[in-house]
Amino acid sequence: MLRVFLSWSGERSKALATALADWLPRVLPESAPWISTTIPKGARWSDVVGQHLAGDHIGIICVTPENTESAWLMFEAGALSKSLEVARVCPVLLGLAATEVEGPLRQFQATVFERDDVALLVNTLNEHQGEGAMPTPELNAAFDQHWPSLEAAVQQAARIPLGQESVAGVIRAFSRFGLPEPVIGNSAFFAEGFESHGLYSTACEVAQMRLLVFGRKNRKLFDKEHASFFKALRGRTEQGFDFRCLFLNPDAPSHVLAAAHADDSFRGQLVTAITAAHRMLRDAGVEPSSHMRLYDVPRAFASVVVDDSVAYTPVRFAANGRSAPLTKSGFAVINGGSSLGLDLVSQFEDIWTSARPSPA
C-alpha cells in the first residue's frame, strides 16, 4: 500500500488536496492518500499529523499563489524532506509556473497542474509501489478515464476567491518583472456606498481644507441634508477653504450623455440638479461660477477629494455601453500624496481647467 501525505494551506490548496485524495485511489487502487481534514474528532491533532509525516511514503504539497510562504506548508515540506528522499516530496502547483516557486520548495521537482505533468506524477507514484506497480497500459487507461473528473474538481478549486494573503504573492510576482515596491498602508477599500448620502455627509463634516467632487448630477451632495455645510461655506471659502464641483454638461455631445446614464430623461435631470445647486450656492452667498463647472468629456472614474484623501471608483459600463449607477459601488480611499492620489487630483484639475463655468 502506497501511503501519500497531502499537505495544504488555505482554501484553494485544501480544495486541490481534497480532489487529489479522492481521485488518486481511482487511478492507483493501491494508494492511500491522507489529509488532515480526516482527523477524528477528539484526537490530538499534532500527534496524528506527526505520525503521518514520519510514516508516509510520498508527500504531495499543494501550492497556490497565496500560500507560497505559508509557515505551515514550509514546516510540513521540511518534515517530509527529513523523513523521505527529496525525490518523494512532490509540490503540485495550481495557478503557478515552476519558475515562480521560491524558497525551500525550489529543491523539489514540481508538478504543474496540467494533464501531461500530472500524468508524469502518477507514473512516478506508480513506480514507488515497487512490485505492486500497475502495468503501464492499465495505468494509462485508468488515467485517461478519470482525468476529466479531477480536472473538473480542480477547476472548481481554482475559482475559490483569493484571500488577502494572496496580495503578497502578487507583489512578489510583480517584483520579479521589475515593478517598484508598492506603498503599503495608504489605502482602504469599502465594499459599497459611493455616491451615497453617507459618503457626502462624511465629506462635508470632516473636510477642513478642500472638498473637490468629480460627479455627474451631484444631487445628493446639494441636498438639504447638507444645508449646514453650505450655510457656512462663504465664511470658510473666505478663509481659504477650496470647494469645487464638476457637473456633466447637459449640452455635452449626445454620445457622452448616452454613455453617462441609462435614462433617456438624463439631460433634463442634469438641468434640474444644476439649477438646484445654483440656488443653494446663491442662498449661501457664494458665486456658483467660482465653485461649479461643466465638463463634456466621457468620465472613466468618479472621485471625491477630502483634504489629503481621495475616494474614487471606476465607472462601470453595462453591455449597452451606458454607465451603471455608482450609489452602491465599492470604492477605495487613498492617500492624496501617493502617486495615484496625486494623479487623480491632477486629473480633476485638468478637467476643471478645461470645463466651463456653469451659467446662471
Note the pLDDT tens digit of each residue in 215-246.
Answer: 999 999 999 889 999 999 999 999 999 999 99
The Cα 48–Cα 348 span in angstroms is: 61
Residue 273 half-sphere exposure, CB side, CA atoms within 13 Å?
24
The Cα 83–Cα 170 span in angstroms is: 32
Residue of 243, 261, 242 whose CA lies nearest to 252: 261
Spell out the domain ranges in the chain.
Answer: 2-166, 187-357
CB proximity list for 126: less than 8 A, separation 6 or greater? 28, 133, 134, 139
Where are the alpha helices (H) located in 45-114, listed in sequence order?
A: 45-55, 71-83
- Through-space distance between the first and last CA atoms of the chain, rounded to whole angstroms: 87
The Cα 234–Cα 237 span in angstroms is: 5
The Cα 42–Cα 184 span in angstroms is: 42
Task: Please give the helix or strand (H or E) that residue 247 lies within, else none.
Answer: strand 242-248
Q: Work out the pLDDT band at 212, boundaries 50, 70, 90.
A: very high
Q: Work out the pLDDT band at 172, boundaries 50, 70, 90.
A: low
Query: Is the per-residue pLDDT at 258 higher than 90?
Result: no
Edge-to-edge strands, sheet with 89-93: 31-34, 2-7, 58-63, 89-93, 111-112
Average pLDDT, the chain: 83
CATH superfamily of 2-166: Toll/interleukin-1 receptor homology (TIR) domain (3.40.50.10140)
Q: Work out the pLDDT band at 102, boundaries 50, 70, 90.
A: confident
Query: Is the per-residue pLDDT at 315 higher than 60?
Result: yes
Q: Is the dihedral of CA 332, 333, 339, 342 positive or negative?
A: positive
Q: Work out the pLDDT band at 360, boundaries 50, 70, 90.
A: low
Average pLDDT of 309-320?
83
Query: Is the per-residue pLDDT at 72 higher than 80?
Result: no
Average pLDDT of 282-298?
94
pLDDT: which is higher, 324 or 38: 324
Q: Which residues of 47-60 are buried (b: 16+ CB within 10 A; e: fewer)?
A: eebeebbeebbbbb
Q: What is the pTM of this model?
A: 0.59
Does domain 187-357 fall under CATH 3.30.870.10? My reply is yes
CB proximity list for 344: less than 8 A, separation 6 or greater? 301, 303, 305, 310, 312, 334, 336
The Cα 325–Cα 348 span in angstroms is: 21
